Amino acid sequence: MLQIATMIVLLKADTESVMSEKKESLGGCLCGETRYKVVAPLRPVVACHCRQCQRSSGFHVAATSAPKHAFNLVKEQHLKWYTSSVTAKRGFCGQCGSNLFWQQKGSDDMVIFAGTLDQPTGLKMVEHIFVEDKGDYYSLNDELPKRQGFEESICFHTQ
């Protein structure tokens, strides 16, 4: 279950060069019954290929994050949370089933599945993690860093 905790990424890179320049982002689920707003720059997208992300999404998860204090649920009547491990929970829409969030216990950050953000996001994917667990039915052919497990490499947010 340490894989879940590894999505927490600590400051080790030049944060100004990798953060989204957008100051406000909106997003939500497929049916529109769960909506959120973030009033802060978002962290770059990281693709997680761990087994839990595969099982919860059907593929890998591409996620960004923001400080919880900058994250607000605008519409949440159908938001449900599933405790996926002893260290984390996953948020999804109980109406349409869209996977939306991942949150580690005790963290000050909200991980947001990048595909749920309204376009344009201004974000870029910067790395792949847990590539040793990736499915055998696809290849990683891009030039992004591919990490076995996880290393502290980029930041979640600037403050």
CATH code of the region 2-133: 2.170.150.70
Q: Looking at the predicted structure, is the pLDDT value of residue 2 above 60?
A: no
pLDDT at 49 over 90: yes
Q: What is the pLDDT at residue 4?
A: 38
Distance CA 89, CA 93 (A): 14
Cα 143 to Cα 123: distance, rounded to the nearest angstrom: 17
Q: What is the pTM of this model?
A: 0.82
Give residue-wise pLDDT tens across range 105-155.
999 999 999 999 999 999 999 999 999 999 999 999 999 999 987 665 454
Which pLDDT tens digit goes with each residue over 5-44? 334 333 333 334 455 566 899 999 999 999 999 999 999 9
Domain residues of the chain, as ranges? 2-133
Cβ atoms of 4 and 55 within 8 Å: the answer is: no
Residue 78: exposed, middle, or buried by beta-carbon count in 10 A (0-12, 13-18, 19+)?
middle
**How high is the pLDDT of residue 151?**
60
